[in-house]
Structure 1
Amino acid sequence: MMPVELSDDLYHMRTVYKQGDKEVAVTVLQTNGHTSYMDENIGFEQQKMTVKGTEILYTEYEGGRKTITWIKSASDTEYMYQIDAPGELSKEDLVKIAEAYLK
């Protein structure tokens, strides 16, 4: 088997943390100025917040799914972080997870 050559350039990474039937997914995506759009027909409510000096966007969807999203710059590259969880976790739980990434 030949070794796989890896790059230092991160484009997309998704990690899922699971305990029993509960799970939280963390996605890091290189954005570099690209814009994402959301279907307006999907029911959701959003709230801007500041956590550890970083502006984050908390979104709660119909059905209970919740996300926290923010943009972080490193060198000349922008990364979008998104924490995605089912309805069992509260907004406060997601903020605590975001705080760990914002250290």
Structure 2
Amino acid sequence: MGNRRISISIRTDFNDVYTYLQSLDNVSLYVCKLIRGDIQQKKRTSTDDESLKRLVDSLIDNKLANLNLDNLPTSSNVKEITEDDKDLISSIF
């Protein structure tokens, strides 16, 4: 397979990049390695994100399975707010 060519333009505000590239023996190899590293990083990140999501989902499922809903307050055992409570809240804010 023959070499493929791509031409890039470098803006003047990236003059330091241009100068650096000019100092390299093989700019094409350098650019290809940078791009390959970027591609591999994105694949790793995507895989890591999927693994993290599965782990979090599993932890949530386990916590929900072990959650005791019997101890949660219900409308029948929640205390009404008294006028004193309302006054106290009002004085704080």
TM-score, with normalisation over the residues of structure 1? 0.19
User: Greater Rg, structure 1 or structure 2?
Assistant: 2
Which structure dedicates a bigger proportion of its chain to helix? 2
TM-score, with normalisation over the residues of structure 2? 0.20
Higher relative contact order (CA 8 A, sep 6+): 1
